[in-house]
Structure 1
Amino acid sequence: MSHTGRSMIHSFLTAKDLESFCTPDRIVLYTLSFSSCGVRYPLSPFKVNLLHHFKVHFSQLHPLGFMKVVHFELSCVVVSGEPSIPLFCMFYKLIADGD
């Protein structure tokens, strides 16, 4: 979407409406940026287990990095295999960028 297109999108939510989406134990995500890399909700058990394994939250991943997870999972399904964390770790290495 171009910058011009984004400037045409307006929110009609009040601050109170926005707060109704938030709870103390939840984090709000911008799902539009992740939908472009093939992420669909709810997340598959493999994706959830991978996030738990590496002790990261979904919001800490860059959409392009998460696209590699989606690609790996789909590749396993195509070859009639089951995606697993040990197999994923053979192909990819998670690194932190910054603090």
Structure 2
Amino acid sequence: MSCTSHSMNRFVLTPKDLESFIETYKIPERFSPTLPGPDDSAECTSDRIVLYTLAFSSCGVRYPLSSFKIDLLHHFRVHFSQLHPLGFIRVVHFELSCVAVSGEP
């Protein structure tokens, strides 16, 4: 495969899948979760963010994010979608370890 060819895997949620996802992860209605249209790209804009559902099941993401996680994202100037699930789980583990010893991350 050449560097210029791209294989694209598309995993599409149905409206029922979205409803189940919202219920499972307790995503508040105020975030107005919606599915992208068939021709929409997964791009963040000033009025929306893109979430990959796999990140929730693989690294324990729960919303709303803690202030520590938000501060960390701002400090490194990255968007949540740029984090690898295995890296994010380390952040979660660090935060929980600090709380377990009555500390602040």
TM-score normalised according to structure 1 size:
0.59
Gaps of at least 5 residues in structure 1 are 1-8, 84-99
Partner of 1:76: 98
Q: Which amino acid in the other structure matches residue 11 of structure 1?
A: T
- Structure showing greater relative contact order (alpha-carbon pairs closer than 8 Å, 6 or more residues apart): 1
Between Structure 1 and Structure 2, how many residues are aligned?
70
Q: Percent identity?
A: 71
Moved over 3 A (4+): none
Q: How does 1:8-47 map to 2 (within 5 A)?
A: 11=14, 18-19=36-37, 24-25=45-46, 26-47=48-69
- C-alpha separation in 2, matches of 1:80 and 1:31: 31
After superposition, give the CA deviation of every residue in 1:32-70 in whole Å (9 maximum; x if it has no partner): 323331211110000000000011110001001000000
Q: Which amino acid aligns with 1:29?
A: L
Structure 2 gaps, min length 5: 1-11, 17-34, 38-42
Cα offset for 1:10? 6.0
Question: Which of the two has greater helix per residue?
Answer: 1
- C-alpha RMSD over aligned residues: 2.6
* Equivalent-residue separation in structure 2 for 1:54 and 1:80 (angstroms): 25
1:59 corresponds to 2:81: yes
Q: Give the deviation of 1:12 after TM superposition.
A: 5.4
